[in-house]
Amino acid sequence: MSFVEYGDTIKDGDTAIVFLGHESMFPVKVQHGSVTQTKYGVIRHSTDLIGKKYGSKVTCSKGGWVFILHPTPELWTMNLPHRTQILYSTDISIITMMLELKPGSIVCESGTGSGSLSHALIRTVAPTGHLYTVEFHQQRAEKAREEFREHGVEHLVTVTNQDVCKNGFGVSSIADAVFLDIPSPWEAIGHAKSALKAEGGRICSFSPCIEQVQRTCLALEESGFTEINTLEILLRVYNVRTVSLQIPDLGKAAEDNSSPGFDSSSPSHQGSSCANLQQGTVQFKSGVPLREVVGHTGYLTFATKS
């Protein structure tokens, strides 16, 4: 099992995603002899998981069932253990596009955090690229190394435990892109410039506060970066559901009454007139926005090394 190479069957030691529903799923490390409790009953790894194909429908001990999914960066973002605040797929997608990442790219990242963006970057640059990620907190750095090893991507990533603002990324003039998610990104702009290749490298900084963005943009300009721009991604989700609306009265009954040959005294015509005047309802599918929408997550500042 690897987050960048798809496998057909579930093996001992794999990380799998137990899917109970779109709003209910969780990761599990498959181990011979282990069991996993769900609201539908027990899943026995030895008999229910190992050797089965990913995507299989597994029946639990109480008769309910779940699906076992192959892990992907997108699923991991939704289910990972939170050691820090993380980036979600909305921001991750624009980051990978605006940094112009592709297989073979060299990327520097700080800080690693919970590894949400890291997994997406690794999948994007695989199989010949590499991610150099720097984490200031020692325990988080060690946990990130452990997860990358368990997920089969340790050959594509180098985790360093140091202060990027003081010591940089540990590489020079090789990176195609640099990503910063730290409290004071303006202090790391010089090290980012040193890590980027001679010309054309891209940098992205994620900051929740506009004051951080202002200082970062000034530092980028002073360091000679060009094409500096900041954007904010706001996601609005719609639920598709059935709604009922009243049919409007467009005056059809009045038109019928005035038409030639209409006999209002006729019982059949009286019944038709009454039916037309009755207001009915019609049901149809409609997209309705959520009542509570996740708003601001952070500002993304991009620039190019000139």
Alpha-carbon distance of 186 to 157, in angstroms, equals 25
Cite the annotated binding site for S-adenosyl-L-methionine by residue number.
Answer: 114-117, 135, 181
Alpha-carbon distance of 154 to 75, in angstroms, equals 19
Closest CA to 60 of 49, 71, 50: 49
- When computed from its CA atoms, the radius of gyration of the chain, rounded to whole angstroms, is 28
Distance of alpha carbon 267 from the chain centroid: 64
Cite the annotated binding site by residue number.
Answer: 114-117, 135, 181
Closest CA to 186 of 211, 220, 209: 220
Q: What is the DSSP string of the chain?
A: --SSS--SB--TT-EEEEEEETTEEEEEE--TT-EEEETTEEEEIIIIITTSBTT-EEE-TTS-EEEEE---HHHHHHHS--SS----HHHHHHHHHHTT--TT-EEEEE--TTSHHHHHHHHHHTTT-EEEEEESSHHHHHHHHHHHHHTT-GGGEEEEES-HHHH--S--S-BSEEEE-SS-GGGGHHHHHHHB-SSS-EEEEEESSHHHHHHHHHHHHHTTEEEEEEE------EEEEEEEEEPP--SHHHHHHHSTT--TTSHHHHHHHHHHHS--EEEEEEEEE-SS------EEEEEEE-
